[in-house]
């Protein structure tokens, strides 16, 4: 039980909470939409933190996603400085932002499963008659 949560995962959780607040309330970039921070993975040496995010309702618009990525990239320094004020670490990791495709992939997979079930039901419905 003691080794279940590593130090880097606890740091990642704390950075996720703080980043979500900072992006929502302090980043004033008009290109930035409703960003949700899904996960933060911190390297063992605390050299960098991979931030995985989604943009609410804009998953199918590549130009909007690109604008959000640019806005996050341009606010990296500000976010890192504010994180260092909020989270007490000897070394604040460099931030690397990645759009999280898992939500889009999950929706697509769910639609495919629903379609397969409907097809199966129509085939079995025709055989019973």
Sorted by where each begins, the domain ranges of the chain are: 7-100
Average pLDDT of each block of 10 consecutive residues along the chain (129 residues)? 74 94 92 90 93 82 88 94 92 93 79 87 70
In this predicted structure, what is the pLDDT of residue 71? 93
CATH number of 7-100: 3.30.300.20
In this predicted structure, what is the pLDDT of residue 55? 87
Which pTM value belongs to this model?
0.78
What 3 state SS string does the chain have?
A: CCCCCCHHHHHHHHHHHHHHHHHHHCCCCCCCCCEEEEEEEECCCCCEEEEEEEECCCCCCHHHHHHHHHHHHHCHHHHHHHHHHHCCCCCCCEEEEEECCHHHHHHHHHHHHHHHHHHHHHHHHHHHC
């Amino acid at each position: 039980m003691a080794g279940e949560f590593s130090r880097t995962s606890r740091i990642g959780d704390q950075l996720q909470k703080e980043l979500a607040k900072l992006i929502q309330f302090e980043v004033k970039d008009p290109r930035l939409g409703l960003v949700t921070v899904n996960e933060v993975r911190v390297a063992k040496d605390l050299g960098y933190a991979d931030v995985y995010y989604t943009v609410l309702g804009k998953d199918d618009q590549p130009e909007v996603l690109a604008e959000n990525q640019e806005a996050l990239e341009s606010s990296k320094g500000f976010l890192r400085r504010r994180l260092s004020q909020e989270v007490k670490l000897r070394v604040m990791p460099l931030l690397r932002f990645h759009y999280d495709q898992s939500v889009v992939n999950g929706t697509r997979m769910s639609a495919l499963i629903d379609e397969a079930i409907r097809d199966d039901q129509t085939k079995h419905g025709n055989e019973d008659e």
